[in-house]
Structure 1
Amino acid sequence: MLTAYQRAMRGRLLAAPVVPAPEPWQPVFESPYGVPVGGLLGIGFATHPGSGHDLVMVVSFDGHGLFDAVTGERLARDRDPEDGAPDAVADLSCPGLGPVAGSRVRVAGLFGGGLHTTTADGWTLEVVTPAWPNDRVLLSSDGGLPHAGPHGERWWHIFHSDHSTLRAAGFSPSGRTIAVATSSDLFLWTRGTDYGPSGGAGE
């Protein structure tokens, strides 16, 4: 049985509408529906060796893809990779492709694993499920639940997985990108390249 506090928190989460992520976060893709990726299994992050941009590796039943997390451009595609799904027994990784070929990328999603849930400068990302099975993704600047400030000021409901199954949600290791992956779509938010992994301005 839920306590009065739990009921109040559940009601607060259910009442919060989806809103745009606050500054400095900006959506990477123009479509509010993200980029469709049928049969998405998981995602992982890498760094472009030339530009320093965050890259997002997408693993699906239809192959592997690599996206630039600043521009949204798909940099590489492999429809028939030799190493298909992430190695669920070993380290949950897949071979890189395109500019990160020759390396391995850790992947989080259907087979397990996880992405960063905090940044060095205090942003927090949480997945909550007040009405199972529809997950909600919350972004906050107040240290996470229980949120002290009003919705839209210190925490934001930025994604509601009501059409497909959530696979993974989190920050890139640099803290410059937010990624949300479902079984059918990829969504990205960026704060560009002016934020360094140490929490200050990048070079």
Structure 2
Amino acid sequence: MNLFKNPKKEIRTRFELNLLHRVQAMELTKPPEPWVNEVIIAASGVDACGWDHDENIVLISSSGYSITQPITGLQMHRDRDSQLTDDRISGDYLTFKIPCNDQEISIFGFHAGDGIHITEDGWSLEIIYPWWPRASVLLENVYVHPYEYLKNASIIDLKRLDGRIKAGFSPSGQHLLIMGSGGALVYSRSI
């Protein structure tokens, strides 16, 4: 018995379905070398983030902002003034002027920009939805020769993050950050 009056025909190609099944078969994991240092930043209501001039993490939430060191996870500054934080976000929601030091930084997030998705040496971050609506973050080096999509890719275990996700590399490519409303997951390269 057909419960739907107008059942839709599958619109994905065989190639797309095979790709989907390949991704769904991948295990959630930590990133590969050289992304060995992990920091989890617990927060709530995070809406955007960015990197200050020293590549510290700036998390912007409905209750202010914080600055955290990416290698140690040490919170360097926290301001709970939500009005001041809102006032320092640009009208196009692409920059934030940090109140404690007046640095203007680019931001990415749910209503902001999209972050840096590739490094100079070919590491690439991609947000995919193999188990929609659950987001997954795919990390791979696209400069590996010969390159084949997914062959050497990792799907990062997002730990405590769920729901909407944004991801981006720091400007130097030394750190990668995955942001959700519940905080951030940060990986840094071994030095």
TM-score bracket, normalised by the shorter chain, equals 0.7 to 0.9
CA distance in 1, matches of 2:117, 2:155: 15
Structure 2: gaps spanning 5 or more residues? 1-10
Report deviation, 1:161: 8.1
**Contact 2:88–2:99 (8 Å) recurs in 1:** no
Tell me the residue number matched to 2:73.
72
Shift of 1:138: 0.6
2:50 equivalent among 40, 44, 54 = 44
User: Distance in 2 between the 1:21 and 1:42 partners?
Assistant: 23
- 1:85 to 1:8, Cα distance in 2 relative to 1, 3 A: farther
Matches within 5 A, 1:19-30: 19-29=29-39
User: In the TM superposition, what is the alpha-carbon distance from 1:168 to its structure 2 partner?
Assistant: 1.6
C-alpha displacement at 1:35, in angstroms? Answer: 2.2
Provide the TM-score with structure 2 as the length reference: 0.83
- CA, structure 1 residues 143+97, in 2 after alignment: closer, same or farther (shift >3 Å)? farther
Amino acid of the residue matched to residue 97 of structure 2?
P
Structure 1 counterpart of 2:180, one-letter code: T
**Correspondences of 1:25-174 after superposition (within 5 Å):** 25-29=35-39, 34-48=40-54, 54-81=55-82, 82-84=84-86, 87=89, 89-97=91-99, 101-142=101-142, 147=149, 149=151, 154-160=152-158, 164-174=162-172
User: In structure 2, how many angstroms separate the alpha carbons of the residues matched to 1:162 and 1:102?
Assistant: 32
Name which one, 1 or 2, has greater alpha-carbon Rg. 2
Q: What are the Cα deviations for residues 50-92 of structure 1, in whole angstroms up to 9, with x where unaligned?
A: xxxx211000112100011122111111011513277363352
Residue 4 of structure 1 corresponds to which residue in structure 2? Answer: 14
Name the counterpart of 1:197.
none
| 3-state DSSP of counterpart to 2:120 | coil
Closer, same or farther in 2 for the Cα pair 1:61/1:85, shift >3 Å? Answer: farther
Paired position in structure 1 for 2:176: 178
Contact 2:41 2:73 in 1 (8 A): no
Q: Deviations over 1:97-151 (max 9, x none)?
A: 55xx1211221112130111111111111111122211110110135996152xx
Decide whether the 8 Å contact of 2:24 with 2:130 is kept in 1. Answer: yes
SS at match of 1:13: helix
* CA distance in structure 1 between the partners assigned to 2:107 and 2:87 by the alignment: 9
SS at match of 1:9: helix
The answer on whether the counterparts of 2:124 and 2:139 sit within 8 Å (CA) in structure 1 is yes
For residue 166 of structure 1, report the CA deviation from its aligned partner. Answer: 2.6
Which amino acid in 2 is paired with 1:94? F
> Partner letter of residue 65 of structure 1?
S
* Residue identity opposite 1:77 in structure 2: R
Contact 2:89 2:97 in 1 (8 A): no
- d(CA) in 2 for partners of 1:188 and 1:162? 12
Q: What's the counterpart of residue 199 of structure 1?
A: none
Task: Pick closer, same or farther for the CA change 1:58–1:126 going to 2, 3 Å.
Answer: same
Question: For residues 112 and 102 of structure 1, do their structure 2 counterparts lie closer, same or farther at Cα, with a shift above 3 Å needed?
Answer: closer
Q: Where does the alignment leave 5 or more consecutive residues of structure 1 unmatched?
A: 49-53, 195-203
